[in-house]
Amino acid sequence: MIGVNDFQEDLKNAIVLAQAAEAHLSVVVIAMAAPPPIGAYVEAISPAWLEERQGDVAKLENQTRRATEQLAASGLSFDIQDLYTEFAWADEDIAVRALYADLTLVGRRAASDGQLCRKIIDGALFQAPAPVLFNPTDEAVNLCPNPILIAWDSRMEAARSVQQAMTLLLQAKDVRVVLIDPIATPSSNGEDPGADIAAFLARQGVTVTVEVIAGGGRTVGEALKQRAMEAGAELVVMGAYSHSRFRERVFGGVTRSMLETTNVPLFLSH
């Protein structure tokens, strides 16, 4: 998923990743329409607003042609779509396209556009089945990242992230299951927090260790980001959480914190 503005870096990194994986690359170029003037009636909509929307469509068509040329030069198998959508239901339109992807990529330029990024995450992650690879860096994601941190909390979303990231985990030489202030109870983390998931990963052939981190008054997001920085992590695998308020989906605290401030690629599942 790329935005209509300044997308070249994101597309270049997506191409590099797809070439390394020998994968088909599906690209969606997204433009979100400006909302109508407040209080305007349908029969008296501002001509300037209509002209702006026409300009948006023309720009989207032009940028899609440019992206097509960049993709054609890559030698990849690819397809490309343009998406002109209203802000209010952009996430739903994005979700429809994400249904047919094994993985949705969000690059640095799309991530820096707060409104666009929120709609992509909401649609592709929370309303479609495949994981999201969120890359806030200016380089393509390494398909053999070391080390990989797994943010573990014994919840279904975290377990799903591990299952969906298994190909990457098996290739890594250093996988660390990180727990922040876990509570050792039979109903959640067990008497030895992290032991169950570590045993599962070891049976799959993953080289894994467990790290139990004391929060020390920090939020889980802050502690996780600091540990990722200290470890030199090249990827964080984690479950993503949200709750809905009418038509607005609000990301859970750790998810929001990591999306807004991390400088490490995130493999997200919900």
Residue 96 has which token pair? Answer: 């429809």
Q: Which of 242, 193, 236, 241 is nearest to 214 (CA)?
A: 193
- Candidates 1.10.260.40, 3.40.50.620, 3.10.129.10, 3.40.50.300; correct CATH number of 2-134? 3.40.50.620
156 touches 188 (CB < 8 A): no
Task: Check residue 158 and give its pLDDT.
Answer: 95
Task: Check residue 189 and give its pLDDT.
Answer: 64
| pTM given for the model | 0.91
Boundaries of CATH 3.40.50.620 in the chain? 2-134, 148-269
The type of residue at 212 is V
- In tens digits, what is the pLDDT along the chain, a chain of 270 residues? 999 999 999 999 999 999 999 999 999 999 998 776 665 555 456 667 677 788 889 999 999 999 999 999 999 999 999 999 998 899 999 999 999 999 999 999 999 999 999 999 999 999 999 999 999 999 999 999 999 999 999 999 999 999 999 999 999 999 999 999 987 766 666 678 899 999 999 999 999 999 999 989 899 999 999 999 999 999 999 999 876 654 556 677 888 899 999 999 999 999
CATH (residue range 148-269): 3.40.50.620
Report the Cα 83 to chain-centroid distance in Å. 19
Report the Cα 211 to chain-centroid distance in Å. 24
The Cα-based distances of 21 to 143, 151, 227, 239 in angstroms read: 8, 25, 28, 23
Torsional sign, CA 196, 201, 205, 211? negative
What is the DSSP code string of the chain? -EESSS-HHHHHHHHHHHHHHT--EEEEEEEEEPPPPTT--GGG--HHHHHHHHHHHHHHHHHHHHHHHHHHTTT--EEEEEEEEEGGGHHHHHHHHHTT-S-EEE-HHHHHSHHHHHHHIIIIITSSSS-EEE--SSSPPPSS-SSEEEE--SSHHHHHHHHHTHHHHHH-S-EEEEEES----TTTT-SSTTHHHHHHHHHHT--EEEEEE--TT--HHHHHHHHHHHHT-SEEEEE--EEEETTEEEE-HHHHHHHHH--S-EEEE-
Task: Check residue 78 and give its pLDDT.
Answer: 98
